[in-house]
């Protein structure tokens, strides 16, 4: 929908008044300089816990839009595709994060023929738990493809999933969607982490490798409190451990770095994380 490469100029978000009573606004998202992907919408920004149905208009050029006066505008700070979900973050303090969910549905009376539905939701809708929230919240286990690296000793268990054992170029566990690895997890026991702290460069290299995946996480099978407790970690000074952990959070803000108290919780966290990502790639 929108190019993922970093542009040489800032991309723009523009909203114009429309002529359709059912879709009174036109949201224009700049893809390349002067070319906008446009949607007819029911509001100029979704309200709290609401999802808005949109209609695709296609592409318009800046010349075609220059005669209209915008009612909202911003620079696009970042934009990313996650399967059927497209995320946009605007460069402003409020009304800055939103998603477009693009779904293809089969006609009930015409098998083999599909129609498109586009929904526009915001960060508040994503957090909501009510019926209007677009994020599924079912508690049932679901099956999806998980790759476990062949070098992983005593791997986590995912009974409901299809397990594939192969050499992963990055991480210890991978989620496979549409024949591609879309998420990876690097697993660290307390002993692994303490060993890596002897050489911070090794830990930093592992985190750099994770950045090649769209979704990435490093999971520690221990608590933060245990690592800075001199009785449970006599090998390093608490201040050194705290400084190292703070630095990796600062250097890698786009990587999920999670402390789980034990192996079981780390296993469960990873399953739930993979599950949500897998759902985002489904219709």
Tokens of 272: 């739930």
* pLDDT computed for residue 134 by the predictor: 44
Determine which helix (DSSP H) or strand (DSSP E) holds 114, and give its type and residue range: strand 114-122
Tokens of 163: 């397990």
Dist CA 261 CA 240 (whole Å): 21
Dist CA 173 CA 176 (whole Å): 10
- With cut-offs at 50, 70 and 90, classify the pLDDT of residue 122: confident
pLDDT digit string (tens) for 81-95?
Answer: 877 788 899 999 888
Dist CA 204 CA 248 (whole Å): 7
What 3 state SS string does 39-91 have?
A: EEECCCCCCCCCEEEEEEEEEEEHHHHCCCCCCEEEEEEEEEEECCEEEEEEC
- Are 48 and 37 in contact by the 8 Å Cβ rule? The answer is no
Task: Decide if pLDDT at 7 tops 70.
Answer: no
Instruction: Quote the Cα angle for 17-23-25, to 5°.
Output: 25
- Are 85 and 1 in contact by the 8 Å Cβ rule? The answer is no
* pLDDT computed for residue 194 by the predictor: 85
Q: Describe the strand order of the beta sheet including 162-166 as a list of residue ranges.
A: 162-166, 145-149, 173-177, 180-188, 215-221, 256-260
Residues 6+ away with beta carbon under 8 Å from 4:
79, 80, 81
Dist CA 79 CA 67 (whole Å): 27
pLDDT digit string (tens) for 187-228?
Answer: 999 888 888 888 777 788 888 889 889 999 999 999 999 899
Task: Decide if pLDDT at 80 tops 80.
Answer: yes
**Buried/exposed 167-187: b ≥16 CB within 10 Å, e otherwise:** ebebbbbbbbbeeebbbbbbb
- With cut-offs at 50, 70 and 90, classify the pLDDT of residue 261: confident
* pLDDT computed for residue 3 by the predictor: 44
Dist CA 170 CA 206 (whole Å): 8
The domain segmentation of the chain, as residue ranges, is 12-127, 145-280
Give the number of other CB atoms < 10 A from CB of residue 225. 10
Could you say which architecture CATH assigns to the domain 145-280? 3-Layer(aba) Sandwich (3.40)
Task: Decide if pLDDT at 126 tops 70.
Answer: no
Rounded mean pLDDT of 7-18?
Answer: 84
- With cut-offs at 50, 70 and 90, classify the pLDDT of residue 283: low
Average predicted confidence (pLDDT) for the chain: 86
Q: Which residue has the higher pLDDT, 133 or 195?
A: 195
Residues 6+ away with beta carbon under 8 Å from 64:
none
Rounded mean pLDDT of 46-61?
Answer: 88
Q: Which residue has the higher pLDDT, 4 or 225?
A: 225
* pLDDT computed for residue 125 by the predictor: 61
């Amino acid at each position: 929908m929108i190019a993922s490469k970093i542009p040489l100029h800032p991309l723009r978000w523009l909203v114009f008044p429309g002529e359709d009573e059912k879709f009174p606004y036109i949201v224009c998202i700049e893809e390349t300089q002067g070319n906008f992907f446009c949607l007819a919408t029911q509001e100029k920004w979704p309200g709290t816990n609401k999802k808005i149905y949109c209609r695709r208009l296609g592409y318009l050029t800046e010349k075609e839009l220059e005669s209209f006066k915008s009612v909202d505008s911003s620079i696009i700070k970042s934009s990313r595709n996650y399967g059927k979900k497209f995320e946009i973050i605007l460069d402003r303090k409020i009304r800055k994060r939103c998603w477009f969910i693009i779904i293809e549905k089969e006609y009930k009376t015409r098998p083999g023929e599909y129609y498109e539905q586009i929904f526009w939701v915001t960060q508040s809708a994503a957090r909501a738990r009510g019926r209007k929230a677009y994020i599924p919240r079912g508690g049932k286990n679901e099956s999806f493809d998980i790759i476990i690296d062949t070098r992983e000793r005593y791997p986590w268990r995912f009974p409901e999933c299809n397990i594939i054992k192969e050499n992963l170029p990055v991480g210890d566990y991978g989620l496979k969607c549409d024949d591609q690895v879309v998420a990876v997890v690097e697993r660290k026991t307390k002993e692994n982490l303490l060993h890596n702290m002897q050489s911070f460069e090794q830990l930093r290299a592992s985190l750099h490798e994770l950045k090649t995946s769209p979704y990435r996480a490093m999971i520690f099978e221990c608590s933060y409190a245990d690592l800075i407790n001199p009785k449970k970690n006599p090998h390093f000074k608490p201040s050194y451990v705290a400084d190292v952990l703070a630095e990796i959070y600062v250097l890698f803000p786009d990587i999920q770095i999670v402390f789980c108290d034990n192996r079981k919780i780390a296993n469960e966290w990873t399953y739930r994380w993979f599950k949500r990502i897998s759902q985002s790639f489904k219709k």
